[in-house]
């Protein structure tokens, strides 16, 4: 980490710490405490810094020409429901995946572009991730992880100025298998479908993807979507949601043969953010 980045990280940590004071000090700091949304941004920036330091973030690649036309309408449709601007980064990893962190950051693993069969499957997956951000699921998870860790380490950790950093660490350790509750996953499916439809993309793509999972080997399924193996329940819940809201969903074609091909350049070159 360069000196200036280290300084910036310290500023973020200090900003986040202000709203993480123990209850005993809360009365003296309440006025200065930033709203919870700012805390989300601090954690999101910490995770970004760490992914960047690991050299995983792709700065430029023709793959962005595939991703951006799909995700930009989704980010626009979701933006009124979240306080920080959404931003998207491709990251390089072997396993297909996508994850959203607090602060509006969306990360799409390049392998996911090769994994999905069409535009609608990709849009459904990304809308689901954006929905987790709208519901603040990542922040909830980070806090839960941090509580477990704090119990393990002891209360002394509260006095050290590394709170946002620890939250980010707690989250980054889970990025490849964000263990949201089944309820959180179901909520993200439905909100994601709403966002996907609002963006003008056929939200049946997620259903098509879940149907394919039934035929896939466990290792082939993106981790983020395989935490809960109840694909059939999720398909049924989405179908019920579509049928209950015909004004939103009835004009979308449920037939997978209507899918839009996704043309992903083979072995596209990537330049990493340093």
120/185 with CB nearer Zn ion: 185
Residues 6+ apart with CB under 8 A from 227: 177, 178, 179, 180, 185
Smallest separation, CB 170 to Zn ion (Å): 18
CA nearest neighbour of 205 among 132, 263, 254, 133: 254
103/192 with CB nearer Zn ion: 192
97/118 with CB nearer Zn ion: 97
95/162 with CB nearer Zn ion: 95
Smallest separation, CB 174 to Zn ion (Å): 12
Segment 96-155, which members bind Zn ion (CB under 5 A)?
Answer: none
Smallest separation, CB 184 to Zn ion (Å): 7
Segment 156-195, which members bind Zn ion (CB under 5 A)?
Answer: 185, 188
110/185 with CB nearer Zn ion: 185
Smallest separation, CB 137 to Zn ion (Å): 8
Smallest separation, CB 32 to Zn ion (Å): 35
Smallest separation, CB 145 to Zn ion (Å): 16
19/196 with CB nearer Zn ion: 196
Cβ(157)–Cβ(206) below 8 Å: no
**Site for Zn ion (CB under 5 A): how many residues?**
2
Smallest separation, CB 268 to Zn ion (Å): 26
49/186 with CB nearer Zn ion: 186
The strand pair at 105-109 and 87-91 is best described as parallel
Question: What is the C-alpha to C-alpha distance for residues 213 and 217, in angstroms, rounded to an integer?
Answer: 8
Which stretches of the chain bind Zn ion, using CB under 5 A? Answer: 185, 188
């Amino acid at each position: 980490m360069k000196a200036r980045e280290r300084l910036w990280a310290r500023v973020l940590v200090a900003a986040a710490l202000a709203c993480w004071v123990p209850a005993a000090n809360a009365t003296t700091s309440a006025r200065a405490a930033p709203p919870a949304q700012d805390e989300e941004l601090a954690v999101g920036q910490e995770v970004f810094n760490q992914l960047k330091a690991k050299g995983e973030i792709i700065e430029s690649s023709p793959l962005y020409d595939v991703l951006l036309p799909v995700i930009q309408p989704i980010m626009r449709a979701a933006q009124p429901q979240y306080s920080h601007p959404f931003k998207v980064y491709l990251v390089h990893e072997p396993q297909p995946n996508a994850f959203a962190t607090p602060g509006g950051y969306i990360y799409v693993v390049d392998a996911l572009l090769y994994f999905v069969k069409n535009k609608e499957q990709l849009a459904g997956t990304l809308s689901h991730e954006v929905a987790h951000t709208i519901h603040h699921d990542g922040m909830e998870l980070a806090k839960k992880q941090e509580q477990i860790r704090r119990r393990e380490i002891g209360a002394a950790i509260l006095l050290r100025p590394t709170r946002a950093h620890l939250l980010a660490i707690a989250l980054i350790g889970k990025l490849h298998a964000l263990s949201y509750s089944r309820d959180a996953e179901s909520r993200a499916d439905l909100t994601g479908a709403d966002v996907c439809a609002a963006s003008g993309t056929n939200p049946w793509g997620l259903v098509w993807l879940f149907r394919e999972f039934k035929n896939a080997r466990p290792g082939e399924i993106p981790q983020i979507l395989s935490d809960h193996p109840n694909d059939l329940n999720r398909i049924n819940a989405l179908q019920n949601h579509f049928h209950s809201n015909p004004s939103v969903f009835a004009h979308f074609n449920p037939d997978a043969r209507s899918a839009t091909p996704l043309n992903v350049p083979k072995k596209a070159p990537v330049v990493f953010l340093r």
